[in-house]
Amino acid sequence: MEKIFLIIKREYVSRVKKKSFLVVTFLVPLLFIAMWGGIVALSIQDTTSKSLISVIDESDTIFPDLKNTSSISFKKATGTAGSEKKNLQNGENSYLLIIPENILDKQNLELLSSQKASIFIQEEIRDQVENILREAQLRNAGIDLETLKNIQPNVKITSLEITEEGSEQESNAGIAMGIGMFSSIMIYLTLFIYGSQVMRGVIEEKNNRVVEIIISSVKPFQLMLGKIVGIGLVGLTQFLLWIILSGALFTAGGLFLANQMPDTFSSEELSSLSSSVPSSSIAQGSMLSDLQGSMANIDFPYLITCFLIFFIGGYLLYSALFAAVGSAVDNETETQQFMLPITMPLLFTYVLSFGVLIKDPHGPLAFWLSMIPFTSPIAMMVRVPFGVPLWELAISVTLLIGGFILTTWVAARIYRVGILMYGKKASYKELIKWFNYRK
Amino acid sequence: MLEVKDIVKQYSKHRALDHVSFQIDKGSIFGLLGPNGAGKTSLIRIINQITAPDHGEILFNGESLGPKHISRIGYLPEERGLYKKMLIGEQLLYLAQLKGLSKSDATERIKMWFEKMDMQTWWDKKVEDLSKGMQQKVQFVATVIHEPELIILDEPFSGFDPVNVDIIKNEIIDLNKKGATIIFSTHRMESVEELCDSIVLIDKSKKILDGKVSEIKNEYRNNNYLIKYSTEAKHLDNLSETNLYRVINMQIHDNEAKATIEILNNHRINEVLAFLITQVQIQELVEIIPSIHDIFVKRVKENY
């Protein structure tokens, strides 16, 4: 037993001391923050170039009411339709909007462009023209526009979810989806990253022949388990550092943004990220503060705990299989044939998590995938943000534990033979034979 | 010290060891010989408890071999290997601790060996920065660091230059003098003759020969002698109408002749000598004792 700790220690220390570990640990949160910051920056600061649109207004009613925006400006076409079209072809202008005479009845516009018209420009024009037409129609119907403008009911839905304790909890499907997808990506990637580290470690020891010395001192099973646990701890360390660093950077980034845009957000709203401010108090807030209000309602400790449990379970289950694959080959290029069946369930669930699972997180497919040990780490993490009953979580975790005990047992039987087989190309038949060796 | 009793090891269709038994005396240097693929590595792995036999058992000092003996055995595998990126000192420390040494004991012994093997500056070096011969030295230290009672060396001299071969050889003899029993598996027969007290020869999964080196060699004596004499006299062949001996081989240079003869009909060398003295001027007479190499080749060929 003492020896297994020595092995765990070696596997852990040799990896944590590597430069690449430090680089990844510090770069990944920065990358996340950069992505988040990029999105925020883009949504606040419109940097798209301005498009100039020539307008031929045959009805003479629309053009005066078209308004220039930050991305589009309109000008009245000087020439005829024919000459303006030529200008498009030779690239002088890029957009030509033709408003027919009977626009009020036909409600159809033509937008000609030298390149494909961007969907934003199309939508902007449609919105503006729709508004102009609506006002015109309202006027025609004899409705006073001023009165109408004053009637602006503003309904906001606060979606509440009854939790098991009976308390009402604010839920936000959009946020849950976001977190579900994020967790799915994280679990998928990390299972692969740390699983293949186990595999590479096994191949390295086998290639070096150092394995023969080690297993003259410890049992192959101890070596395999020590390696799996050691690398798993490296993964957990990395998560812990990521959480701490991301938290720190997120707070720092929020404060920075608050200083940059004192008009848009009060620093109070931004700090509501960590404190729990009911979203109703940020009444007519922008999308961003809505988001922040909902973020404040997310039970991060619960999510992180679930994530860690399913990461550990999934990691133990898959890394044992990765170790068996590593023991069966002499170098990494030979791993392909064995990798496919291992990665299939993961990939399958991963792909589904962006479709069926996220749309119907409580449906039968989602339920069963979150119970089968090979798929549950990803499937369950997609479902957890939407709220999963405790009994389902308990069954899923129990099955996962059973699953990794089974895979570890199978993997260990292949591993103990595989690591001593040099220069032999293993087939599945061979693996079964190894599995059946007495010792 | 070690008793191998009726060991069978079966790999699906291939039987690697077929009822092999022999004994190794305490404090001896024991040669485990055999052509490639004979089953030596399988046997070594069984002694190291890396694999288990399908039949038979091994006694270590009279006790059935078990996990508690692991720390009393040192193993140098034929396929050498260390962690390439790990520092030498840490690596030795790790391997020693796996064998059950405490950290402080291990550190002390590593330092002692570093001094002995002239590698004081190596602690902070990585294995990948060392030459192959230097790596072998580290590996040898790793094998004996925990002062095992039984040391198993598989081709210990491969990869060493002659200077280092002597260093390692002396260390082996030294360890043996301090009481360690050594199992020595090699293809270099001259080092077997030089070092081993007893041998076992395994071929095609079966034991075909074992015993003390001196006794085996005695057994394989075949009454061959080499005689040197000056040529002013005659050809030995011409004298052989006597039924004392027959000439197997004859070489004549200028005024010196060498003849290999086999003594016939249970005559003794003294009788032959008495006869020859009357015929030629004898310069030298030696008995040709078969080398382990010859015995090895002869037995393996017979077994073919």
Helix (H) or strand (E) holding B41: helix B40-47
Q: Are B77 and A209 in contact (CB < 8 Å)?
A: yes
Q: Which residue of A has its CA nearest to B99?
A: A217
Q: Are B52 and A6 in contact (CB < 8 Å)?
A: no
Q: What pLDDT does residue A271 have?
A: 45
Is the domain spanning B222-288 CATH 3.30.1490? The answer is no
Q: What pLDDT does residue A165 have?
A: 52
Task: Per residue of chain A (439 residues), give pLDDT as tens.
Answer: 788 999 999 999 999 988 888 888 888 878 877 777 777 676 665 545 677 888 888 877 788 888 887 778 888 887 777 787 777 777 666 788 888 888 777 778 888 887 777 777 888 888 888 888 888 888 888 888 788 778 877 777 776 666 555 555 555 677 778 888 888 888 999 999 999 999 999 999 988 888 988 988 898 999 999 999 999 999 999 989 888 887 887 787 777 766 765 554 444 444 444 444 343 333 334 555 555 555 666 778 888 899 999 999 999 999 999 999 999 888 888 888 888 888 899 899 988 888 888 888 888 888 999 999 999 999 998 888 888 889 999 999 999 999 999 999 999 999 988 888 877 777 888 888 888 876 6
Q: What pLDDT does residue B163 have?
A: 87
What does pTM read for this prediction? 0.75
Q: Are B98 and A218 in contact (CB < 8 Å)?
A: yes
| Rounded CA separation B13/B11 (Å) | 6
Contacts by B291-297, CB closer than 8 A, 24 or more apart: B291/B189, B291/B193, B292/B31, B292/B33, B292/B189, B292/B192, B292/B193, B292/B199, B292/B213, B292/B216, B292/B217, B293/B189, B293/B190, B294/B220, B295/B209, B295/B216, B295/B217, B295/B220, B296/B33, B296/B189, B296/B201
Strands of the sheet with B150-154, listed across from one edge: B73-76, B150-154, B181-185, B29-33, B198-203, B206-212
pLDDT in tens, B233-264: 566 666 665 677 888 888 877 778 888 888 88
β-pairing, B14-24 vs A51-57, is unpaired
Q: Is A47 exposed, middle or buried (0-12, 13-18, 19+ CB in 10 A)?
A: exposed
| Rounded CA separation B8/B52 (Å) | 10
Asked if residue A199 lies in contact with residue A322, where contact means CB atoms within 8 angstroms, the answer is: yes
| Rounded CA separation A372/A379 (Å) | 9
Q: Are B80 and A209 in contact (CB < 8 Å)?
A: yes
- Tell me the residues of B at the A interface, defined by beta carbons under 8 Å apart: 11-12, 45, 48-52, 54, 70-71, 73, 75, 77, 79-86, 94-95, 97-99, 142
For chain A positions 154-193, those within 8 Å of chain B (CB to CB) are none
Is the domain spanning A51-146 CATH 3.40.630.10? The answer is no
Q: Count of A–B CB contacts within 8 Å?
A: 61
Asked if residue A373 lies in contact with residue A317, where contact means CB atoms within 8 angstroms, the answer is: yes
Confidence class for position B232, pLDDT limits 50, 70, 90: low
Look up residue B200 and give its two tokens: 């076992």
| Rounded CA separation B230/B280 (Å) | 7
Look up residue B96 and give its two tokens: 């020693």
**Interior/surface letters A19-37, b for 16+ CB within 10 angstroms, e for the rest:** eebeeebeeebeebbeeee
SS3 label, residue A405? helix
Q: What pLDDT does residue B280 have?
A: 80
pLDDT in tens, B8-52: 988 877 888 999 999 999 999 999 998 888 888 889 999 998 888
A420 vs B: CB within 8 A:
yes
Q: In this structure, what are the phi and psi dihedrals at residue A353, rounded to the nearest 5 degrees?
A: -65, -20
| Rounded CA separation A223/A217 (Å) | 10
SS3 label, residue B274? helix
What distance in Å separates residue B292's CA from the closest CA in chain A? Answer: 30
Asked if residue B249 lies in contact with residue B230, where contact means CB atoms within 8 angstroms, the answer is: no
Q: Residues of B with CB below 8 A from A420's CB?
A: 45, 50-51
Q: Which residue of A has its CA nearest to B69?
A: A217
Name every residue whose Cβ is closer than 8 Å to that of residue B283 and which is 6 or more positions away in sequence. Answer: B228, B229, B230, B256
- CATH pick for B2-218 out of 3.90.1170.40, 3.40.50.300, 3.30.365.10, 3.40.50.1000: 3.40.50.300
Residue intervals of chain B classified under CATH 3.30.70 are 222-288
Q: Is A331 exposed, middle or buried (0-12, 13-18, 19+ CB in 10 A)?
A: exposed
Q: What pLDDT does residue A42 have?
A: 67
Q: In this structure, what are the phi and psi dihedrals at residue B89, rounded to the nearest 5 degrees?
A: -60, -50
Mapping DSSP onto H, E and C, the string for A213-258 reads HHCCCCCHHHHHHHHHHHHHHHHHHHHHHHHHHHHHHHHHHHHHHH
Residue spans per domain, chain A: 51-146, 173-247+261-436
Measured at the alpha carbon of residue A249, what is the angle toward residues A244 and A253, in degrees to the nearest 5? 155
| Rounded CA separation A188/A393 (Å) | 19
Asked if residue B272 lies in contact with residue B293, where contact means CB atoms within 8 angstroms, the answer is: no
| Rounded CA separation B140/B132 (Å) | 12
A214 vs B: CB within 8 A:
yes
Q: What pLDDT does residue A276 have?
A: 41
pLDDT in tens, B78-121: 888 888 888 999 999 999 999 989 999 999 999 999 998 888 88
Q: What pLDDT does residue A336 have?
A: 83
Q: What pLDDT does residue A281 have?
A: 39
Give me the residue label for tokens 């291990």: B106
Quote the percentage of chain B above a pLDDT of 70: 96
Query: Which is higher by pLDDT, A194 or B189?
Result: A194
Q: Which residue of A has its CA nearest to B68?
A: A217
ipTM for the predicted complex comes to 0.81
Provide the sign of the torsion angle of the four alpha carbons A131, A134, A140, A143, taken in this order.
negative
Q: At what angle do helices B132-144 and B162-177 cross, to 10 degrees?
A: 0
Q: What pLDDT does residue A224 have?
A: 94
